[in-house]
Amino acid sequence: AEHGSLHGKNILITAGGTREAIDPVRYISNRSSGKMGYALAQAAAEAGAKVTLIATQIRHLPYSVSLIKVESAQEMLQAVQDQFPQQDIFISAAAVSDYRIVHPAKEKIKKTGKNDLTLVLQQNPDILADAGSHKTGHQFVVGFAAETQNLAVYAQEKLVKKHADMIIANDVSSTASGFNSDQNQVTIFQNKKTAITLPLQDKQKLARGIMTEISNSIQ
Ligand code: PMT
């Protein structure tokens, strides 16, 4: 790692699906396992970077990585805002819930006797867009795009809208890749550069390929 391609760089990575409280014992979330973000943290540490991982789930990690555990999108945003100024690279691999419950109940919700229960949702902040719009000169911001169709079009849109330097697009319509699988396949988009496709492979191996593309781009 002393001579790794990311030696001396500070990297911040988010992983997993955020958990939006309904009451003290229940939440709304998604199928993200955190595997992709954890694999990126491992690959960044192997490449010599100083890694901070903000995650909603606990998985195996190299000892050198600092872990910040969060639950909700709002907590994740706060942790990212605290860490971002010290970072050279930010990778937003988390599946952030687009909505949260407006008023989570203070006590466990009981059955009412009625058949219907209504939860009112409101939009969450966009963590990647927030980082993208606050980045300064040397900082490199990387987002993912989880799509089931029109991968290239939506990825290019996210590049612009979220002020990202790179968007890693994955097709999440198949169970062999994307959410909660051990493998993934991505196409990497950057402004004014030809897209690069990395084939279906274990997330750990793929993460090393992604780190190589990032380190090539910041040289
Ligand atoms: O965790 P795994 O089971 O290993 O699965 C990996 C993965 C499929 C979750 C991962 O590879 C992935 O695609 N992560 C991003 C999922 C997602 O939320 O994609 P999106 O297209 O909805 O969002 C685009 C980008 O904006 C992402 O970088 C996301 O982190 C970010 N975002 C989205 C919404 C929001 N409120 N805040 C954000 O920062």
Task: Give the range of the structural domain holding residue 34, as residue numbers without chain letter.
Answer: 10-105+117-218
Kindly state whether residue 110 falls inside one of the protein's structural domains: no
CA-closest candidate to residue 13, choices 25, 2, 31, 62: 62
**Ligand 1: centre distance to CA 176 (Å):** 17
Local mean pLDDT, 10-residue blocks, the chain (219 residues):
84 98 98 98 97 97 97 98 98 98 96 92 98 96 95 96 98 90 97 94 98 94
Residue 219, pLDDT score: 78
Q: Return the residue whose CA atom lies nearest to atom 24 of ligand 1.
A: 145
Residue 17, pLDDT score: 98
Residue 174, pLDDT score: 86
Residue indicated by tokens 């989880």: 146
Say how many domains are in the chain: 1
Kindly state whether residue 4 falls inside one of the protein's structural domains: no
Quote the CA–CA distance of 17 and 28 in Å, as a whole number.
10
Neighbouring C-beta atoms of residue 39, cutoff 10 Å? 25
Is 126 annotated in some ligand binding site? yes
Residue type, 118: T
ipTM of this complex prediction, to 2 decimal places: 0.99
Which class for 177: exposed (0-12), middle (13-18), buried (19 or more C-beta within 10 A)? buried
**Ligand 1: centre distance to CA 96 (Å):** 6
Residue 139 DSSP symbol:
-
Kindly state whether residue 5 falls inside one of the protein's structural domains: no
Kindly state whether residue 65 falls inside one of the protein's structural domains: yes
Kindly state whether residue 197 falls inside one of the protein's structural domains: yes
CATH number reported for the structural domain that contains residue 78 in this entry: 3.40.50.10300
